[in-house]
Amino acid sequence: MKKFFEDFLKEWWLFFTVVTFIILARVFVFGSVIVDGHSMDPALQNKEQMITLKRAKIQRFDIVVSKEPGELKKRIVKRVIGLSGDTVTYDHDQLYINGKKYAEPYLDKYKKLLKKDKLQKTYDYNYDFQKMAQRVNAFTVNYNNEVKFTIKVPFHHYLLLGDNRPISKDSRYPSVGPIPSSIIEGEIKFVFWPPKRIRLMEKNK
């Protein structure tokens, strides 16, 4: 019996080592998420599947996955705009963080389409989205449709916004607000499905 176990270990130790490593990495290092909805269009599209890095240091403009406040069984995918303690201001689509001006190139495509036709052709798959876009006074407004607003990010929180601002429910809304760091699950690093959309995620794109 002893020889049997010795032979078994010699032949299978590598397999079990690899399996154990994969399981531990899945639990503590990597995760996965499926995009549900259009709030991150066009950077991330509905039903795309992604790999997240759980232990990543979250930085400004990263795309992250988080539990949804008040609905902790649900997860949301948004972009980090404000860090702990930041003062974030939007003024007619211009972003200021702690008084410094920032560009948001990942918004350029849809901002142009909003000016062109209020995103009516882009949202032709959803009449409610078309109505929402028709009402906004700028691409990034607050929940009261104000083009100039300021949000103070509490310590140990992040301000998360969707890229598709006219239809995204995010930290601009009191029901969501800045997100506690404790419920952020990780940073989106890699899109693996569908095959034609496989790519590494790049910041600011």
Largest CA distance in the chain: 78
- Residue 21 clears pLDDT 50, i.e. is over it: no
* pTM summary value: 0.82
Least-confidence region, from 8-12, 26-30, 89-93, 145-149: 26-30
> Taking the CA of residue 46 as centre, how many other CA atoms within 13 Å lie in the half-sphere pointing to its CB?
6
Phi and psi dihedrals of 34, rounded to 5?
-110, 130
Q: pLDDT at position 16, please?
A: 47
89-95 long-range contacts, Cβ below 8 Å, gap at least 24? 89/148, 89/149, 89/150, 89/151, 90/140, 90/141, 90/142, 90/147, 90/148, 90/149, 91/147, 91/148, 92/138, 92/147, 92/148, 93/138, 93/139, 93/140, 93/147, 95/140
Tokens of 92: 């007619």
Q: pLDDT at position 169, please?
A: 94
Cβ 52 vs Cβ 30: under 8 Å: yes
**CA–CA gap between residue 11 and residue 64 (Å, rounded):** 41
Q: pLDDT tens across 99-157, in order? A: 999 999 999 999 999 999 999 999 999 999 999 999 999 999 999 999 999 999 999 99
Q: pLDDT at position 33, please?
A: 76
Average pLDDT for residues 193-201, to the nearest whole number?
Answer: 83
- Residue 14 clears pLDDT 70, i.e. is over it: no
Q: pLDDT tens across 38-89, in order? A: 999 999 999 998 888 876 789 999 999 998 887 767 889 999 999 999 999 9
Q: pLDDT at position 15, please?
A: 47
**CA–CA gap between residue 21 and residue 40 (Å, rounded):** 33
Least-confidence region, from 12-16, 53-57, 68-72, 172-176: 12-16
Catalytic residue numbers, as ranges: 39, 78
Domains located in the chain, CATH noted: 2-200 (2.10.109.10)
